[in-house]
Amino acid sequence: MQPFTYARASTPEDAVRAVASGGPGTRFLAGGTTLYDLMKLNVETPTRVIDVSGLKELNGIDPGGQNELVFGALARMSDVAFHPQIVAEYPALSESLWRAASQQLRNMATLGGNLLQRTRCAYFRGGEPFACNKRKPGSGCAAQQGIDRGHALLGRSDGCIAVYPGDLAIALVAFDAKIDVLGPDGQRTLAVEELHREPGATPNVETTLESGELILCIRVPKTVMGRASTYHKIRDRESYAFALASAAVALDMDGETVREARIAIGGLATRPWRARTAEQALAGKTLTPRTAREAGDAALQGAKPGRDNAFRIELGARTVADALLIAKQRA
């Protein structure tokens, strides 16, 4: 591992200043479960690390507000996953957290860090022997000639087919959540849906955050659709694995009829993927296994398979359909 210097930030402003003035080799460190892991692989090579994990003002979990749930960026995944009010009123959020990682990792990892979790693409993580435009711009993409069973079907580019691996962001996108970020020029708010970029010609640029910008909190608008929601995650094994396909779904039902549906899919795309066409196709319809499946097919519209992953188009459509029927039971 490359040597680095270490400093603890005493305030968010202090942290932002240190990273913004430190240049590209300076990185924020929170729970460390992604950054330190990739440092051990020499995929991340910071020269200076600014530890924000002690910033208590970013730890809060506040579901009690009138209009929104507010989670501090440093709230631990396990604390939010098992918060009684989140479990009862926003099961999709709770499930997206407890169905991710292991309890040990959820005790360490923060919500803000989880949003910025980097891809599990083996060619990205594998380092030097493999071409990777994300790791080394211009070097190519070994995955496209390699084993792409777990790679993206949606939002691909010629330069990168790496999947966005997170679960929480999928549920947040379904709920129209926003984040507050602090940068050298002050604070701004953006939708979680605007946070992650498709790879395009610059797969190394993964988010819309500017250098030195720090996520302060996540805001989820309160909605009655929270209760009729689920995060359905399909994996090679039933626990402690990344999604082959997942769906975050929330419903507003009038009896058997859908007033409004929210659908976002994970594990299938290069970024959290909101499926608005599928949502619109369901509005005003009776929710049955058949209409649910049609919505699943609509959600996967435009999916482009590679060599080994075509089966995940059918899998993705079924995952969405099953998620809709699970959410309906909770309406």
Q: Per rule CB under 8 A, is residue 259 in the interface with another protein?
A: no
Shortest CB 6 distance to another protein, Å: 4
Shortest CB 9 distance to another protein, Å: 13
Nearer to another protein, 239 or 329 (CB): 239
**Run of H or E including 290:** helix 289-299
Q: 136 in the Ramachandran plot: left (φ > 0), alpha (ψ -120 to 50) or beta?
A: beta
Instruction: Write phi, then psi, for 150 (nearest 5 degrees).
Output: -100, 5
Kindly calculate the radius of gyration of the chain based on its CA atoms and give it in whole angstroms: 19
Q: Which one of 103, 189, 286, 301 is in contact with another protein (CB under 8 A)?
A: 103
Nearer to another protein, 79 or 252 (CB): 79
Number of residues interacting with another protein: please give it, by CB under 8 A: 25
Shortest CB 1 distance to another protein, Å: 5
Q: Which one of 87, 105, 131, 190 is in contact with another protein (CB under 8 A)?
A: 105
Which residues, numbered 60-89, are part of the site for another protein (CB under 8 A)?
Answer: 78
Q: Per rule CB under 8 A, is residue 145 in the interface with another protein?
A: no
Three-state DSSP at 254 gives strand
Which of 121, 115, 70, 136 has the alpha carbon at shortest distance from 213? 115
Nearer to another protein, 29 or 93 (CB): 29
Q: Per rule CB under 8 A, is residue 270 in the interface with another protein?
A: no
What's the burial of 66, exposed, middle or buried (CB within 10 Å: 0-12/13-18/19+)? Answer: exposed
Please state, in angstroms and rounded to a whole number, the distance separating the CA atoms of residues 99 and 232.
9
Nearer to another protein, 49 or 251 (CB): 49
Please state, in angstroms and rounded to a whole number, the distance separating the CA atoms of residues 100 and 185.
34
Shortest CB 33 distance to another protein, Å: 5
**Alpha-carbon separation of residue 102 from 108, 236, 266, 304, 321 (angstroms):** 10, 15, 18, 31, 27
Please state, in angstroms and rounded to a whole number, the distance separating the CA atoms of residues 300 and 112.
28
Which residues, numbered 173-202, are part of the site for another protein (CB under 8 A)?
Answer: none
Instruction: For residue 241, give both structure tokens.
Output: 């694995």
Three-state DSSP at 236 gives coil
Shortest CB 108 distance to another protein, Å: 5
Please state, in angstroms and rounded to a whole number, the distance separating the CA atoms of residues 153 and 132.
18
Nearer to another protein, 48 or 222 (CB): 48
Which residues, numbered 18-57, are part of the site for another protein (CB under 8 A)?
Answer: 29, 32-33, 36-37, 39-40, 49, 51, 53
Shortest CB 48 distance to another protein, Å: 10
Q: Per rule CB under 8 A, is residue 236 in the interface with another protein?
A: no
**Alpha-carbon separation of residue 75 from 27, 59, 215 (angstroms):** 19, 5, 12
Q: What is the DSSP letter of 117?
A: P
Q: Per rule CB under 8 A, is residue 239 in the interface with another protein?
A: yes
Q: Per rule CB under 8 A, is residue 5 in the interface with another protein?
A: yes
Shortest CB 282 distance to another protein, Å: 31
Contact residues for another protein (CB under 8 A)? 1, 3-6, 29, 32-33, 36-37, 39-40, 49, 51, 53, 78, 101-105, 107-108, 239-240
